[in-house]
Chains A and B, each alone.
Chain A
Amino acid sequence: MANPFARIYRGIAEQRAVSQPTVLQEPTESTESTKRVDRNLQTALAEMRKIEQIYAPGGEFLKGAEATYEKGKKKSLAATTQGMVSRGLFGTTTSANVEKAYEEDIGAPWRLQIEDVRMQRLSEALQGKASVLQNIATIEEQRKSFTNQLQMLREQLATQRQMGFAQIASQQAMASQGQKLQLAQLGLQREELEMNRPKIRTGQTGTFERMW
């Protein structure tokens, strides 16, 4: 005959096997994930900083653009000066004014334009960085929330476990009492059998099935 208590205890054991390890292992997995997320965020931030530096004043973007501008300016001034020489105006202040004229007529608008582009790109980079920082803040908030939830869950589990143990103890107590009752009943039955049994050889003893 199957022991009905065995089922109860097995149920608790199964409950342990299913719920308890999952909850307990979660912090470990969360830490790894956090580190991974942190690494990704740091990488993203570093990339953003690089982009920011490229578009910052004196950054690579301006250096590259300036180099291109200077190259174009040199070619243009050379062509203009050649034209001045051809037209005999090389020895005039008009010729000496060519570079200033280029700076005012072409350089200044170009600088405004390139500054506009630079500021736009820098703005985009800063916006991206801000977005990442905002994501980090959100993740931190989520992480805190998750940790809180986890803590609450842990507390709940602990409570549940306490309750479970208490229930088991109660059940164990009940089972003990039942056992005692059964033993008492068995004793009575034994006595009854002893009284009613054909005599058997002394020394022959019965056995009980082990409960656990």
Chain B
Amino acid sequence: MAVSLSDKITIRKLVACGNGKVYYEMPAGTMIELVTSGYSINTTDQLVMFEGFQKTFVVNGSKLGIADFINTKLTHDPLGIVHAHGDVLTQGSATMVVDFTNIAKTATYGYVTSGTFVITTQVIGSGLGSAFNPSAVTAKPHWYAWTVYPGGSFGSMPTKAYLGCLYRGRVVLSGNPNAPFQWYMSRQANPWDWQYYTNDAQSAVMGGNSDAGELGDIIRALIPYRDDYLIFGCSTSIWCLMGDPAEASASINEIDLTVGMFGANSWCFDGSGNLYFWGTNGIYKMAIPGLPQCITEVSLPDLVNDEEVDPTTHRITMAFDRIRSGILIYITKLSDGTNSNYFYDLRTDGFFPETYPNNCGAYSTLFYSANDSDYRTLLVGCKDGYIRKYGSSVKNDDGTLIDSYITIGPQLISEDIDVENEINSLSFMGADGSDEIEYKLFAEKTAEKIIEKINAGTIVPRAAGSVNVFTRPKKIRQGIRGIFAALMIGNSQNNKTWAMEAASSK
């Protein structure tokens, strides 16, 4: 028997917003504009996007829009009675399940289940909706305003929102400036229905996170974890919704009443389901459910003050890079793109500070699980409007030289802290493919003095130079004297890269 195999795959598309426009990927690796005329977004304002129901929901203050990648649009004269969400439209042998009708009742969007819809032939519905003759049939994708479903009791959406996510089949909004402590959830599986108080398990729900009688903290981040938990990262506290708020088994519990979150995108999950976020006193790690632990408390104890971040002027975005097994923390000043970033290596628990050119300042990040492996990587939406990715073979940051270094130490080089010692030689073992390695050796009587002077750039190395270590370990004879010593190695030249296996001193 002949066996015919054909792959069935889900197609992922990248959707991005920049310069007041919406773009989507078509074909792989190429972004084309989705026409938003008539309902433009404002990318100078805060903007959050999330996907659900084969659509991208754009939450942009007073601009709430949808990029629809599933439905076919039928344009027609204003309907007397709109077709209800879920009704089936029929035109000959063509059928469509109605998803949405615009407020003007002049466009019906639906998923075509069979046949092809054409113009001028009457379309009838399975419900009470008026029959119509389409004047146009438009294929996906579409862009339209996100509103409540017209022609019925579907409540109202918040007039402004800056936060959004999908949780348990409900679209969740928050960040309403008039009620920043409030969150809003649509009816389950119906992002057009915002009618609260309907007393059923799928009803739209609105609420806040607080002890009884209190107003609640300002919500800064919505973090859904599977369909089980929704974390509310607030200004000075963290709350967790377990289950569905319309069900009797649900609960909202405070996770921490002393630690808050920075912003809408200052969090990410690693591959083990741990949540990392920029919080009140640095970077935190938290299992869900669990308590947050500050992981910069020891290594970067004054991180928050050092970075001087302010939610009104800075954006912090975080992402898990599953290829390099680390967490990237991007701190970008929105006005000019100046940035200060960290790579947290999950294998070594080490923090590596990074700075990019201002044009490359990160506004958004996403690990894109693309169908095409060429694009299956961590993407960074940059200040200049470009989407960038990390390349292991390139030796500059989009034309700008990379000044890369590490500092080993300071370390005690004597047997007692009051007795000086000498280092007479250094040996380096370079990695294959590395360019030359630049080194600087510092020695002082205290460790703190070395760090202060390195950070201030005022210290003169006792020994410095560069070595080519392509073939075999290289020994350098240079004597220095001190109680503590530090070794800085790296490369600051354009189009150069370096890697090292080991270094030793005597």
Partner of B205, one of A85, A87, A92: A92
CB under 8 Å from chain A, chain B span 179-226: 196-197, 199, 203-210, 212-214, 216
Asked whether A93 lies within 8 Å of B199 as measured between CB atoms, the reply is no
Find chain A residues with CB under 8 A from B210 CB. Answer: 91
Interface 9-mer from B243-251, B420-428, B449-457, B482-490? B243-251
Give the CA-CA distance A87 to B246 in the complex, in Å. Answer: 12
Bound-state CA distance A188–B199 (Å) is 128
* Chain A nearest CB, measured from B56 CB (Å): 27
Which residues in chain A, 85-107, are within 8 Å of chain B measured between CB atoms? 85-97, 100-101, 104-105
Contact check, A89 vs B207: say whether CB atoms are below 8 A apart: yes
Question: Does B253 belong to the interface (CB within 8 Å)?
Answer: yes
A100 and B212 in contact (CB under 8 A), knowing A87-B250, A89-B207, A93-B206?
Answer: no
Chain A residues, CB < 8 A from B213: 90
Chain A residues within 8 Å of B254, by CB: 88
- CB under 8 Å from chain B, chain A span 166-185: none
Please, how many angstroms separate the alpha-carbon atoms of A95 and B205 in the complex? 10
| Chain A positions 109 through 147: 1 when the CB is less than 8 Å from some CB of chain B, otherwise 0 | 000000000000000000000000000000000000000
| Candidates B203, B208, B252; contact of A87 at CB < 8 Å | B252
Residues of B within 8 A of A86 (CB): 251
Least CB distance, A76 to chain B, in whole angstroms: 13
On whether A97 and B197 interact (CB within 8 A), knowing A87-B250, A91-B208, A91-B210, the answer reads yes
Q: How far is the CA of A95 from the CA of B209 in the complex (A)?
A: 13
* Distance, CA A40 to CA B216, complexed state (A): 71
Inter-chain contact A100/B197, CB cutoff 8 Å: yes
Closest to A84 in B: B212
Cα A100 to Cα B239 with chains together (Å): 27
Contacts of A88 in B (CB 8 A): 209, 239, 251-254
Distance in angstroms between the alpha carbons of A89 and B250 in the assembled complex = 8
**Alpha-carbon separation in the docked complex, A79 to B199 (Å):** 18
Q: Is the CB of B199 within 8 A of A92?
A: no
* Selected contact of A96 from candidates B197, B204, B209, CB within 8 Å: B197
The residue of chain A having its C-beta at the shortest distance from the C-beta of B208 within the complex is A91
**Distance, CA A108 to CA B197, complexed state (A):** 16
The answer to whether B246 touches A94, judged by C-beta atoms less than 8 angstroms apart, is yes
User: Measured between alpha carbons, how far is A19 from B197 in the docked complex, in Å?
Assistant: 87
Bound CA–CA A91/B161 (angstroms): 19
Q: How far is the CA of A92 from the CA of B206 in the complex (A)?
A: 6
Q: Which residues of A from 64 to 93 have beta carbons under 8 Å from B?
A: 85-93
Whether B209 lies near A93 (C-beta < 8 A) is: no
Across-interface contacts of A95 in B (CB, < 8 A): 207
Contact, CB under 8 Å: A101 / B199? yes
B252 engages A94 (CB within 8 Å): no
> Are A93 and B253 in touch, CB under 8 angstroms?
no
Interface size (A, Cβ < 8 Å)? 17
A155 to B496, CA, bound (A): 146
Question: Which residues of B sit under 8 angstroms from A105, Cβ to Cβ?
Answer: 199
Given contacts A100-B197, A101-B199, A104-B199, are A94 and B251 in contact (CB under 8 A)? no
Taking CB atoms, residues of chain A closer than 8 Å to B207 are 89, 91-95
Compute how far the CA of A147 lies from the CA of B204 in the bound complex, rounded to whole angstroms.
Answer: 78
For the complex formed, measure the closest distance between the CB of A210 and the CB atoms of chain B, giving whole angstroms. Answer: 110
> Nearest chain A CB to B45's CB is how many angstroms away?
28
Contact check, A92 vs B208: say whether CB atoms are below 8 A apart: yes
Q: Separation in Å of the A177 CB from the closest CB of chain B? A: 111
Closest Cβ–Cβ distance, residue B465 to chain A (whole Å): 62
Checking B196, B199, B251 against A89 with a beta-carbon cut-off of 8 angstroms, the contacting residue is: B251
**B199 pairs with A91, CB closer than 8 A:** no
Contact residues in A for B252 (Cβ distance below 8 Å): 87-89, 92
Q: Verify A89–B208 contact, CB threshold 8 A.
A: no
Q: Across the interface, which residues of B come within 8 angstroms of A96, CB to CB?
A: 197
Residue ID in chain A nearest B246 by CB atoms: A94
Assembly CA distance A95 to B252 (angstroms): 12
* B residues in contact with A94, CB < 8 Å: 205, 207, 245-246, 250
Q: Are B251 and A97 in contact (CB under 8 A)?
A: no
Shortest Cβ distance from A109 into chain B, in angstroms?
A: 14
**Nearest-Cβ distance from residue B246 to partner chain A, whole angstroms:** 6
| Known A94-B205, A94-B207; contact A89-B245, beta-carbon cutoff 8 A | yes
User: Which residues of the partner chain B approach A89 to less than 8 Å between Cβ atoms?
Assistant: 207, 245, 250-252
Given A93-B197, A96-B197, are A87 and B206 also a contact pair (CB < 8 Å)? no
Chain A residues with CB under 8 A of B212: 85, 90-91
CB atoms of B196 and A97 under 8 A apart = yes
A87 with B251: CB separation less than 8 A: yes
Selected from A85, A87, A100, the residue in CB contact (under 8 A) with B199 is A100
> What CA separation (Å) do A87 and B244 show in the bound complex?
12
A11 to chain B, nearest CB (A): 95
From residue B446, how far is it (CB to closest CB) to chain A in Å? Answer: 51
CA distance A112 to B210 in the complex (A): 38
Q: Are B245 and A92 in contact (CB under 8 A)?
A: yes
Which residues of the partner chain B approach A104 to less than 8 Å between Cβ atoms? 199
Report how far A92 CA is from B209 CA in the complex, Å: 8
Closest residue to A82 on the B side, CB-wise?
B212
Q: What is the bound-complex CA distance between A199 and B239, given in angstroms?
A: 159
Closest CB in chain B relative to A32 CB, distance in Å: 66
Given contacts A88-B252, A89-B252, A92-B205, 9 further A-B contacts (CB under 8 A): A87-B252, A88-B251, A88-B254, A90-B212, A96-B197, A97-B196, A100-B199, A101-B199, A104-B199
22 interchain pairs (CB within 8 A)?
Answer: A87-B252, A88-B209, A88-B239, A89-B245, A89-B250, A90-B213, A91-B207, A91-B210, A91-B212, A91-B214, A92-B205, A92-B207, A92-B208, A92-B245, A92-B252, A93-B204, A93-B205, A93-B207, A94-B245, A97-B196, A97-B199, A104-B199
Among all A-B residue pairs, the 3 with the closest Cβ atoms: A92-B207, A88-B252, A87-B251
